[in-house]
Amino acid sequence: MGLRKRTEPPHERQNRPRSIEQYLAALRVALAGEDPALVQDALYDAEEYLRAEVAANSGGSEADTLELISSTYGAPEEVAEAYRTTESRCAPRLRRRRASPRAPHSAAFSASTAIRAPGPPSSTCCSRSSPASSTSR
């Protein structure tokens, strides 16, 4: 994976994690108050990703590698926000779908079935978080 540096404001530079442990601690703080299972999954995902990337970029220091990784994986606050947003947007829709497999997603794509009044379809579940990247790490 190609990692590129981005320009960073000074306040971000001061606060950025210098180790995986610091990154995970910051992520835990950013997720404070969330469902413990969500926090556990987020920490597991982040640790797995960070350790794999540090191993794959073993030429530099952990701090330098983390700086690069944060620009692609996201800062702890950004990652926490992604979990929070996905939880509030997608979970209810997917749960509704599981309860009633045929109907619920028509609500998410209401323009397809109730097309009489033109307008933008309501935002779709996971539309914010559906990059075409690989699903394996």
Question: Is position 126 an interface residue for another protein (rule: CB under 8 A)?
Answer: yes
Q: How many whole angstroms separate alpha carbon 54 and alpha carbon 71?
A: 14
Question: Is position 21 an interface residue for another protein (rule: CB under 8 A)?
Answer: no
Question: Is position 22 an interface residue for another protein (rule: CB under 8 A)?
Answer: no
Q: Determine which residue in the list 15, 21, 51, 63 makes contact with another protein, applying CB under 8 A.
A: 51
Binding mask 67-106 for another protein (x = CB under 8 A): -----xxx---xx--xx-xxx--xx--xx-xx---x--xx
Contact status, residue 64 vs residue 19, Cβ threshold 8 Å:
no
What is the number of residues in the chain? 137
Nearest Cα neighbor of 46 from 69, 18, 15, 13 is: 69
Nearest Cα neighbor of 15 from 5, 36, 30 is: 30
Q: How many whole angstroms separate alpha carbon 70 and alpha carbon 89?
A: 24
Question: Is position 23 an interface residue for another protein (rule: CB under 8 A)?
Answer: no
Question: Is position 6 an interface residue for another protein (rule: CB under 8 A)?
Answer: no
Residue with tokens 């947007």: 89
* Site residues, another protein (CB under 8 A): 38, 41-42, 45-49, 51-52, 54-56, 72-74, 78-79, 82-83, 85-87, 90-91, 94-95, 97-98, 102, 105-106, 109, 111-113, 115, 118, 121, 126, 128-131, 133, 135-137
